[in-house]
A and B are shown apart, each in its own frame.
Chain A
Amino acid sequence: MSEPTASGGPIIAPVGAGSTEAEGLELKVRSQWSYARDRFLRHRMAIAGLVGLVVIFGAGALCNYIAAYPLGYVDLTNVEHGPTTFGHHFFGTDTTGADELTQVLYGIRTSLEVGVFVAVVSSVFGLLVGAFAGYYRGLIDNILMRITDLVLTLPALAILLAFSSLVGQRWPSLRGNLWVLSLILAGFFWTGIARIVRGVFLSLREKEYVEAAKASGAGDLRIMFRHILPNTLGPIVVNGTLAVGGAIITESALSFLGQGITTPNVSLGALVATAQSYPEAWWLTIFPGLTIVLIVLCVNFVGDGLRDALDPTQRRVRA
């Protein structure tokens, strides 16, 4: 213990690491992800949504195993029966006596496939476009952004309908194909992510650590993907999740209007369409539609929770 002097600094005796006064002083080093995970888990609706999704999508994925009847089963003695426990027809039967619940389950699987495919493909494509536009700026940025704007000014549903119909006419074997339709949908959904990613790249490319990386000889691609890209993962995950819901709604609308997915796949939208001619059999309209609403509701809750968890620009309390 020595006295501080004016010319030199005080000799500071460090506090022993094992001493008890270290309590309250420890800086627990936690990763960004553990903070995010904690924030997500605090979001009750997000947890509810996640559970709902696991149950619903799980049922859809396993539809082959848990459905009471095989697809295509008809029973003309049991036509247009309301919901009942008899024969496990919990959602009733349709005009051919086929079990509605089975069809809904297969429809869920279709929605799952479409939603995930569109979200993943559009996110990847949007990421690439946004990254190159934001990083290189100048002419590349201009061109890419003009294209993005152009896609945004097109009447979405009409174009999708037209494309789908015309593709079906030109290449009849592809008519109603799930993957072709998903690809067309992805061709519309990438613009949102492209804008966001571009924004992040634009702001981060000026940062010092990018300059430092350049100075030590890192190439453009390396900088883009190793240094800047991780910062875009948050918004991409959020946007991608919400895109799943958007894609499912859009696909069901297209199928409802007859330009979506057709046999052998079952689409919830198509189920609603066929039910239109039989308004007395209300269960045929309500159950598939309600399923869509539940799926998208859960997806949106999860997306909201993710946004709260991953968004670093949360409103903070100013101390």
Chain B
Amino acid sequence: MPEPLLSITDLVVEFKTEDGVVHAVDGVSYELFPGEILGIVGESGSGKSVSTMALLGLIPQPPGRITSGTAMFQGRDLLQLKKKELQEVRGKEVAMIFQDPMTSLNPVLTIGRQLGEAIKTHFPDVKNEEVKERVVSLLDLVGVPNPEARYGQYPHEFSGGMRQRAMIAMSIANSPTLLIADEPTTALDVTIQAQVLEVMKRVMAETNAATILITHDLGIVAEMCDRVVVMYAGHIIESGDVATICRSPRHPYTIGLINSLPKLTEDEERLEPIPGAPPSLISVPPGCPFHPRCFLSQGREKCRTEVPALVPAGDGHAAACHFSEELVGYQSKYSKGAEVA
């Protein structure tokens, strides 16, 4: 068993708001191994973005607070690093790609300057011409046509897909060991999504960086990731490798998630959404966070009072459900050799 590159244990992140304390991440633990692509799936508000932003110290500390937890990376706890040490890690060993490329790039600086900044921040002695060369080759790597001309252009002159490619290029500029992609394709058209995902696959193969891919789209997870972690209301409710999770899920939420996706290869009469709505993160109901919407729970006492722990179910597969055994043998619509999404 290789050593994990990143090991997060019991991470708890809260936000103090006017309406009360928001428990965004409530005791999350997972591991990431070198070279693998880990997917984090969940709805908006499930805590998936917050858990990774906490790693790089990007959570504004009022109103946010990392109440507890550790995040061991290369022998150091990222959550305990001082400002200066954190700044050295950011953009060099751990890099992040954000969701909306239009707002994530500074509109008054050229793309070339912004990408160059990523390099010069960590390698200030590199000459400007060399920096420019590297930036142009990065743009070329991610498939931006005519990179020399594009170097001097501004973000608003790029299309959405190209901007995201530029962001990807910016993140791998210093060959990071860990790459975090926070919903990189959510803000893009479907056709562009496919292109950008292609670029990401290529980039990941080239750099061999371990990647955390955050998304709400199971289809992307199935296509890109090796393992996946499913989050709900600030908790991890299931984790395992992609094939197992998609074919034999062992948590009612995962099942609901899979069933709510339309399957393109078969005729389905009705879409089946999960009834109800995600809980308020301020007044979290006692017991399992999913129980009010759960078909398996049936209002059972244990679900209402005890928070289920993430219990291994064999082969790296784990689920946080009191009655997970009742789902043994359940085969989702993606099993039986059918293609995923």
Contacts and interface: CB of A to CB of B under 8 A. Distances in A.
Q: Do chains A and B touch in the complex (CB under 8 A)?
A: yes
Interface of A: 1, 3-4, 6, 9-16, 19-25, 27, 39, 42, 317-319
B253 to A, nearest CB: 12
20 contacts: A6-B333, A9-B259, A9-B270, A10-B295, A12-B295, A13-B298, A15-B293, A21-B291, A23-B285, A24-B283, A25-B276, A25-B279, A42-B18, A317-B17, A317-B22, A318-B49, A319-B15, A319-B22, A319-B24, A319-B47
B35 interface: no
A4 B63 contact: no
Contact of A14 (B45, B63, B64, B275): B275
Contacts of B17: 317
B295 A4 contact: yes
DSSP majority for the B interface? Answer: loop
B272 A15 contact: no
Given A22-B292, A317-B63, A16 B330 contact: no
B64 A21 contact: no
The 9 closest A-B pairs by CB, nearest first: A24-B285, A12-B295, A9-B272, A25-B292, A10-B295, A319-B45, A319-B24, A317-B15, A21-B304
B284 interface: yes
B262 interface: no
Interface string B268-293: 00101001110111011111000111
A12 B22 CA distance: 30
Interface in B168-186: none
Given A1-B298, A4-B255, A16-B299, A25 B285 contact: yes
B331 interface: yes
Contacts of B285: 21, 23-25
B74 interface: no
Contact of B292 (A10, A15, A39, A318): A15
A16 B298 CA distance: 10
B281 A24 contact: no
Contact of B295 (A11, A16, A39): A11
B110 interface: no
A47 to B, nearest CB: 15
Interface of B: 15, 17-18, 22, 24, 44-45, 47, 49-50, 63-64, 255, 259, 270, 272, 275-277, 279-281, 283-287, 291-293, 295, 298-299, 304, 326, 330-333, 335-336
B22 A13 contact: no
Given A4-B295, A15-B292, A21-B304, A319 B50 contact: yes
Contacts of B277: 27
A24 B18 CA distance: 18
B269 to A, nearest CB: 9
A42 B255 CA distance: 43
B71 to A, nearest CB: 19
Contacts of B283: 24
Contacts of A27: 277
A11 to B, nearest CB: 7
Q: Among A3, A39, A42, which residue has the most Cβ atoms of chain B within 10 A?
A: A3
Contacts of A13: 295, 298
Contacts of B287: 21
Nearest to B47: A319
A29 to B, nearest CB: 12
B144 to A, nearest CB: 29
A319 B291 CA distance: 21
Given A9-B270, A317-B64, A319-B24, 17 more contacts: A6-B335, A12-B275, A16-B299, A21-B285, A21-B299, A21-B304, A24-B279, A24-B285, A24-B292, A25-B276, A25-B285, A27-B277, A319-B22, A319-B44, A319-B45, A319-B49, A319-B50
B45 A24 contact: no
A1 B304 CA distance: 17
B54 to A, nearest CB: 12
A3 B50 CA distance: 35
Interface centre among A11, A15, A19 (most CB of B within 10 A): A15
A120 B38 CA distance: 59
Given A4-B330, A21-B292, A10 B255 contact: yes
B202 to A, nearest CB: 30
A3 B295 CA distance: 10
Contacts of A20: 304
A20 B44 CA distance: 26
B104 to A, nearest CB: 13
Contacts of B272: 9
A10, A11, A14, A27: most-surrounded residue (chain B CB, <10 A): A10
A306 to B, nearest CB: 17
B220 to A, nearest CB: 21
Given A319-B45, A319-B50, A24 B291 contact: no
B211 to A, nearest CB: 22
Nearest to A11: B295
Nearest to A7: B333
Contacts of A42: 18
A111 to B, nearest CB: 34
Nearest to A9: B272
A23 B283 CA distance: 9
Among A4, A14, A318, A319, which residue has the most Cβ atoms of chain B within 10 A?
A319
B206 to A, nearest CB: 31
B340 to A, nearest CB: 14
